[in-house]
Amino acid sequence: MIVLDVAVPVPLNKTFHYLYPEGINPENIVGKRVKIPFGKRILIGYVVACLYIEEDPSLKLKQLMEVIDDEVLIDNETVELADYISKNYICSLGEAYSSIIPISMQAPKRISRNTKNVFELSYERHILNAQQRNAVSAINASLDKNSYSVFLVHGVTASGKTEVYINVIEHALNQDKNAIMLIPEISLTPQFVDIMTRRFGSKIGVWHSGITNVEKYKLFHKAKIGEIKIVLGARSAIFVPFKKLGVIVIDEEHEHKYKQEQKPSYDAREIAKWRGKYHNAVVIFGSATPSLETYTDAQEKKIGLIELNERIDKKDLPEVKIISLKKRLFKTSLLLSETVDSISKTLARKEQIIVFLNRRGYSPVIMCKKCGTVFQCPKCSISMVFHKNPDLVKCHYCGETKHFPLTCFVCKGREAAVFGTGTQKVEDELKRLFKNAKIFRLDSDTASTKKVYADVYNGIKNEKYDILLGTQMIAKGFDFPRVTLVCVIDADTYLYLPGFKSVERTFQLITQVAGRSGRGNVKGSVIVQTNNPMHYAMKYAKNHDFVNFYNIEIEQRKKMLYPPYCDVAKIVLRNKNEQRVDEDSENLFTFLNDLNDSCELELKLLGPVPAYIAKLNNTYRRHIIIKGERKKILHLAKFLENFKQSLGTFVGIEIMPSDLL
């Protein structure tokens, strides 16, 4: 009998057999998505093969309910890539396929069948400086050889990295090849779409979480048939099914957003390398503050290193002042007098300002005045955050929301005080101090639709706003010539988090946001307010000195044995019952440690410990960390399915997580 072999996106590392509807050739269903009954649920699966098996009366197979796609979506590259993801990120084949071909993609009622492969370049050519020309020449030489190669373009902010990318992409298009360009923040999309459209015309696809399921399907189809040549997007755009991929650009490659946290926890940078190798394409990583891992690869000549160490037209880097928050005259003031004075002078010159604070809401801590109890989320072990207009307290992790004022659950008092600073509070102070200034606040509270990103980009570009205030989504990529002052309200939000990347991220954020200043004809300046002015992250950010920061930080990694000196994995155990998750985490640690010894893997296991947020949405979380060689970590991880945990305990593993919190 003939059955269909279906990969289902569930955490079971096997495929499932289904019968096909009468009147349909089963061979025509292979490579398509299908709707299937799975237990008591209805799921979408991926038909990976047509199999001939012996008839067995006792075998009660279910029939698929619907063939979703008219066209085949799974090709040979998809099969091999799904296998790679499944093995390297410890997930089922079905889960791997769901990353490459989204379940949610929805075919429109009618697809345009215009397959004319016409592509007209319609851009204004920019003159490259010597460093840019050398960069383009080196990368294009690899493109000409049709050989897989990886480059790190390490360029200071405003050194013209984007222009290098565009020239390489043009070269690829002239060879009838395709290009993918990834950017880390959806907020940057309008700016990059504007740049790319002006340079390359309309044959560009934009892929990110803000587009509809129908738009995703159309773009997927157009890329497959060659109707578009370039795709610009966030992390998942790495899977767009180009047939002749020539170049992949990962801009701001240091960003942790290229790592998917949910299962399957793939890393778009690693997928880029895999696809680059598959297509004999060029992969470009670009950053002013590259990750320590990528820069180490460049230092060890595993990848090519291209340095752009001066700004376009030899413009000066902004002057950075590090100011201690201990200089505050009043504890209630958020802005130091020097910061206020600099903003006033910049506004008087009709120039623009970026104010950065990586903490949204009004105040991050709410305390009972009567007994000192801090109001925590009832579902999570984290403080609730006060938001104004309307007055609410919110958990930024589970979404729990309560009206303010609160009743203290300890003393029943209703005298709550708020402490600390978020972007809403900074906005209030800016409006109070600079009454005539036009301010736009961009954080995840205000950026509810993709239209907001276009509004802020056009608003700043057209000088509708004087001050752009926001969280990390404004810290990178933006290129506004009239911004001459950047103010960092509190540079310490990451610094002492218990993660091995905390110092690196602090340096990166300060350097990146500082780089938004002085990109036009007027020299920029930056003010960084911090409680730790003598920390080496502040010292080297002040001087835009990545190399010396790297030299110190890499020694810390070596001393503590963290990447790039080893690979890491994070095992997460979750259960709504705290006792059960504690017992299971202890038992699993012993189980894995014994296997580590008996298999002579020489891995280092740490834990079990409560997660940084030990309770999340009424679920208790425990971590076990594994350090060592990746191949050995993956070998040990195979045994996880043999561990018998308690009822209600979920065990998951993330390979090379972006943090260990």
As a three-state string, the secondary structure of 136-168 is HHHHHHHHHHCCCEEEEEEECCCCCHHHHHHHH
Spell out a b/e string for 100-110, using b for 16 or more CB atoms within 10 Å of the CB, else e.
Answer: bbbbebebeee
- What pLDDT was estimated at residue 256? 94
- Alpha carbon separation from 303 to 34, 284, 292 (Å, rounded): 41, 10, 13
Contact 259, 145 (CB under 8 A): no
What is the homologous superfamily of the domain 567-655 according to CATH? Answer: Ribosomal protein S10 (3.30.70.600)
Contact 207, 240 (CB under 8 A): yes
Residue appearing with tokens 């201690």: 324
For residue 51, list its beta bridge partners: 3
Could you give the CA distance from residue 85 to residue 91 in angstroms, rounded to a whole number? 7
Q: Which residues in the chain come in under a pLDDT of 50?
A: 115-123
Q: What are the start and end residues of each CATH 3.40.50.300 domain in the chain?
A: 130-312, 315-361+422-559
Please tell me the pTM assigned to this model.
0.94
Contact 100, 269 (CB under 8 A): no
Residue appearing with tokens 């990109």: 519
Spell out a b/e string for 38-59, using b for 16 or more CB atoms within 10 Å of the CB, else e.
Answer: beeeebbbbbbebeeeeeeeee
Answer whether CATH 3.40.50.300 is correct for domain 315-361+422-559.
yes
Q: 145: exposed, middle or buried (C-beta count within 10 Å: 0-12, 13-18, 19+)? A: exposed
Contacts 24+ apart (CB under 8 A), 412-418: 413/368, 413/369, 413/370, 413/371, 415/368, 415/369, 415/370, 416/366, 416/367, 416/368, 416/369, 416/375, 417/366, 417/367, 417/368, 417/369, 418/362, 418/363, 418/365, 418/366, 418/367, 418/386
Task: Write out the DSSP string of 199-244.
Answer: HHTT-EEEESTTS-HHHHHHHHHHHHHTS--EEEESGGGGG---SS
- What pLDDT was estimated at residue 175? 96
| Residue 363 CA from chain centroid, whole number | 26
Q: Give Dmax over CA atoms of the chain in angstroms.
A: 85
Contact 513, 468 (CB under 8 A): no
Contact 21, 3 (CB under 8 A): no
Q: What are the start and end residues of each CATH 3.30.70.600 domain in the chain?
A: 567-655
Could you give the CA distance from residue 464 to residue 655 in angstroms, rounded to a whole number? 45
Contact 490, 421 (CB under 8 A): yes
Could you give the CA distance from residue 354 to residue 440 in angstroms, rounded to a whole number? 10
Could you give the CA distance from residue 488 to residue 103 in angstroms, rounded to a whole number? 41
| Residue 302 CA from chain centroid, whole number | 24
CB neighbours (10 Å) of residue 535? 19
Q: What are the start and end residues of each CATH 3.40.1440.60 domain in the chain?
A: 2-100
Q: What tens digit of pLDDT does each residue of 368-384 get?
A: 988 989 999 999 999 99
Architecture, CATH, for domain 2-100: 3-Layer(aba) Sandwich (3.40)
Which DSSP letter does residue 524 get? -
- What pLDDT was estimated at residue 636? 97
Could you give the CA distance from residue 326 to residue 371 in angstroms, rounded to a whole number? 28
Within 13 Å, how many C-alpha atoms sit on residue 290's CB side?
A: 25
Residues in the chain: 661
- What pLDDT was estimated at residue 113? 54
Q: Hey, what CATH class is 130-312 in?
A: alpha beta
Which DSSP letter does residue 61 get? P
As a three-state string, the secondary structure of 271-297 is HHHHHHHHHCCEEEEEECCCCHHHHHH
Could you give the CA distance from residue 241 to residue 137 in angstroms, rounded to a whole number? 27
Cα torsion through 189, 311, 295, 477, rounded to 10: -10
Task: Report the candidate in 57, 51, 15 with the shortest Cα–Cα distance to residue 36.
Answer: 15
